[in-house]
Amino acid sequence: MKDFQINIKIELAALWTSATFCYLYGDYFELYTPEKVESLISGENVLNSPMNLLIASLIMVVPPLMILASLMLKPLPNKWLNIIFGAIFTMMMVLIAFGSLTPWYSFYVFLAIVEAILTTIIVWKAIKWPKESIEAHY
pLDDT at 137 over 80: no
Q: Is residue 72 part of a domain?
A: yes
Domain hosting residue 37, numbered range: 8-135
**Is residue 37 in some structural domain?**
yes
**Confidence at residue 20, expressed as pLDDT on a 0 to 100 scale:** 97
Instruction: Give residue-wise pLDDT tens across range 77-116.
Output: 999 999 999 999 999 999 999 988 999 999 999 999 999 9
Whether residue 112 lies inside any domain: the answer is yes
Please check whether residue 3 lies inside any domain of the structure: no
Q: Is residue 57 part of a domain?
A: yes
Q: What is the DSSP letter of 7?
A: P
- Taking 60 as the threshold, does the pLDDT of residue 121 lie above it? yes
For the chain, the domain total comes to: 1
Q: Could you say which DSSP state residue 5 is in?
A: P
Which residue, 114, 3, 131, 119, is CA-closest to 70?
119
Instruction: Output the pLDDT for position 132.
Output: 73
* pTM score: 0.90
